[in-house]
Amino acid sequence: MLSILSARRSFFVVCLAVVALFCSPAAAAEGGHHGVDGAKLGLWLVIPFAGLLLSIAVCPLVAPKFWHHHYGKVAAAFGVIAVLLMIVIGEDNGGGFMPTLQSAAHVYLLDYVPFIVLLLGLFTIAGGIYIRGDFRGTPLTNTMFLLVGTVIASWVGTTGASMLMIQPVLRANKQRKKKVHIIVFFIFLVSNIGGSLTPLGDPPLFLGFLKGVSFFWTFHLLPETLFCATLLLILFFVFDTIIYRSDALPIPDASQPRERFGLAGAHNLIFLGGLVAAVVGYGSLQKAGLFYDAAATEHEKAEAALLEGYAEEAESKKLDDPVAEAARIKALLTKVEEQECVWGYASTLERAEASEIEELALHEASKDTPKEAELRKKIMTAVQRFRADIDAEYRDVDAKLSQATSESATAAKFLDDARVALAKTLRSHASAVLAVPRDKAVKSVHLGSVSHLPFSNIARELLILAMAALSLFTTRKVIRDSNNFNWGPIKEVAKLFAGIFVCMVPALAILAAGKEGALAFIVNNVERPWQYFWATGMLSSFLDNAPTYLVFFQTAQATPMSAFAARGLDPDPVSALVNMPHIILVAISCGAVFMGANTYIGNAPNFMVKAIAEENDVKMPSFIGYMLWSVGILVPLFVLLTLLFLR
């Protein structure tokens, strides 16, 4: 208990120091570029990240005692090295003191803290739910456990399903001698593949939902999910049957009373529901009156009204001269594209980037110094990106209108198609503008150069912690003892990922730079569904799968539909807001979710499940050892998936 209190005090002191640093006037005075510039960073800056991964892979094998006592220090050391390297290279090379400070603050306050709070909440609540029953770890029982965990993962998240199901699986197989394979397949199915059918299942899919993918679109992944899950369950059953027969297991004593199936601590399901609601309802939470300045939405309302007006004008029918009418609507399209509003069409620019552009635009009048020239260059680059996004979204409409102006015999039909498509697109954008809150309207704690920490973020984390606290104080100790509950696994994950998150900063920044970064050779060569699947998947295996998903999502959005059609793909887009073929989004989504199972760090629950298994005396494979399992089982499976679904 003293060690837990000491750890809590240390964490509290660190949090105070970070907040004090980033709220200081000195930090606020710097302003300027937000974070390291991935377009300028060298690929060699991922060496600390590679070093930390190598340490996780090798140290437990060659120096287990050292690693057991000092893994947190090793992770911290590589994190410090990564930060120092980014500072030393200077701003001319994409780093420097303030940009590095900004990136580190962002990754810890806006990424790492929510990550750990969510894991802590799920770990605490699931640890208070004891699934009673006289389960014996037979192949059939184990297969049923994996099936149930896979099914519920899409509805309570892969992390929630993993935390809920891992203890019953470990208890059922307590007498088994060989059980590593059970945990490995558990990670494959429950911690990853099972979370592919709703945005609740895995962070990349939830990010897609926020970017305009409809909630139930993810059911398009059902064929791929069923294929992978079914084959893995069959393979597991065969594999476990062979191993089960080779184990000399004690014969159960029939005279002992059998424990009836049931749930102890079932009230924790209420807290689990509250946690899921806090995560899923975050968008609505942002718009709540307590956290949102309604007066700041007038800009969005005016723009949405303008778009609605354009939609009505597009729908007005004047077919006396179809060719002239096509030219009229094409002129209307040009009028829409020429709107000088950076905030328009919420899906086309990251809001933080748009905010920076607005700030930089204030300096445009002064054109004498090199600094101002650089500012103007950034403005023009951002505006060009904005224009390109608009062009991508309207190119199909434009193509139909061009055809209508040249083929008078069938112009009316083309014109009707174009009018409907344009009006639908405009109304979708009007809804998006109103649905996504503007940064300036979201009430925030201002953190100097970090920009802001929304009160809604703080409220979400507090809601999750409140659910965890209620679970902790309302669940009898005997229930947690029955689950072998202790804080060791969450402490291990918190320490290691504190280093991993900051070491990933250069790699994610380079990847986010897309065709301008050192990983452009990957982004430039991704054209077909199978390429999107493998590129997204392989990078998601080692990096955070949510930003990796976003990079390829945006790459596909920026690709002309005509280019996809030229490759034989159906040019029908997912929606007006998600301008890419369905098969491309399927490939990106499957890559990010499925291939998170390739390594222990590919998805949040993987390492947690490993740590819990080791706390229960299961000798889990090393980092490399686990990858031998994934390469031997998952890679052939994904090759089959590619050939059958993504060619």
Residue 318 lies in a domain: yes
Residue type, position 497, single letter? F
Give the rounded percent of residues in the chain with a pLDDT score beyond 90. 24
**Continuous segment of H or E residues that includes residue 392:** helix 370-406
Residue 4 pLDDT > 50, yes or no? no
Q: Does 431 lie in the same domain as 333?
A: yes
Amino acid at 426: L
Whether 52 and 80 have beta carbons less than 8 Å apart is answered as no
pLDDT at 107: 84
456: CB partners within 8 A, 6+ apart: 282, 285, 286, 288, 291, 292, 442, 443
Q: What is the pLDDT of residue 286?
A: 65
Return the structure tokens found at 222.
Answer: 């059902």
Same domain, 300 and 433: yes
Is the same domain home to 300 and 437?
Answer: yes
pLDDT per position as a tens digit, 370-412: 655 665 565 555 555 545 555 555 555 666 666 666 666 666 6
Cα–Cα distance measured from residue 437 to residue 328, given in angstroms and rounded to the nearest whole number: 33
Q: What is the pLDDT of residue 18?
A: 36
434 with 498, same domain?
Answer: no
- Quick check: 476 pLDDT over 60? yes
State the Cα–Cα distance between residues 180 and 539, nearest whole angstrom: 26
Same domain, 497 and 361: no
Query: What distance in Å separates the CA atoms of residue 146 and residue 78, rounded to the nearest whole number?
Result: 36
Main-chain dihedrals φ then ψ at residue 132, nearest 5 degrees: -75, 155
Give the C-alpha separation, 232 to 238, whole Å.
Answer: 10
| 453 Cβ neighbours under 8 A, 6+ residues apart | 109, 110, 444, 445, 447
Structure letter (DSSP) for residue 123: H
Mark whether 351 and 413 lie in a shared domain: yes
Residue 145 in contact with residue 277, Cβ under 8 Å? no
- Specify the range with the lowest mean pLDDT, choosing from 247-251, 492-496, 628-632, 633-637: 247-251
Q: Does residue 481 sit within a domain?
A: no
Give yes or no: residues 436 and 496 share one domain: no
Q: Same domain for 495 and 436?
A: no
Considering its fold, how many domains does the chain have in total? Answer: 2
* 341 falls within a domain: yes
Judge whether 580 and 544 are in contact, CB under 8 Å.
no
* pLDDT band at residue 630 under the 50/70/90 scheme: very high
Same domain, 309 and 386: yes
Q: How far is CA 76 from the centre of its chain?
A: 24
Give me the numbers of helices (H) and strands (E) for the chain, helices first please.
28, 4
Give the per-residue pLDDT at 289.
Answer: 65
- The answer to whether residue 18 is domain-embedded is no
**Does one domain contain both 397 and 502?**
no
Evaluate if residue 540 carries a pLDDT over 60.
yes
Confidence at residue 12, expressed as pLDDT on a 0 to 100 scale: 39
pLDDT exceeds cutoff 60 at 63? yes
Mean pLDDT of the region 173-188: 92
**Phi (first) and psi of residue 174, to 5 degrees:** -60, -35
Q: Is residue 77 one of the residues assigned to a domain?
A: yes
Q: Is residue 514 a part of any domain in this protein?
A: yes
Residue 187 host element (H or E) = helix 180-189
435 and 494 both lie in a single domain: no
Q: How many whole angstroms separate alpha carbon 326 and alpha carbon 555? A: 31
**Could you tell me if 517 and 428 lie in one domain?**
no
> What's the burial of 529, exposed, middle or buried (CB within 10 Å: 0-12/13-18/19+)?
buried
Average pLDDT over residues 62-71: 88
pLDDT of residue 141: 92
Which residue type does 635 have? V
Q: Tokens at residue 420, please? A: 């409907």
Contact 493, 120 (CB under 8 A): no
Give the domain range for residue 408: 294-441
Core vs surface per residue 274-312: b (16+ CB within 10 A) or e: bbbebbbebeebbbeeebbeeeebeebeebbebbbebbe
pLDDT for the residue 133: 74
Residue 94 has pLDDT above 80, yes or no: yes
Residues 6+ apart with CB under 8 A from 267: 474, 475
Residue 419 has pLDDT above 90, yes or no: no
User: Could you read off the pLDDT of 494-506 as tens digits, one per residue?
Assistant: 888 889 889 988 9
Kindly report the average pLDDT of the chain as a whole number. Answer: 77
Boundary of a domain, candidates 525, 545, 568: 525
The band of 455, judged by pLDDT with boundaries at 50, 70 and 90, is confident
Q: In this structure, is residue 60 part of a structural domain?
A: yes
- The pLDDT tens digits for 221-239 are 999 999 999 999 999 999 9
Which segment of 72-86, 208-222, 367-381, 513-527 scores lowest on mean pLDDT?
Answer: 367-381
208 part of a folded domain: no
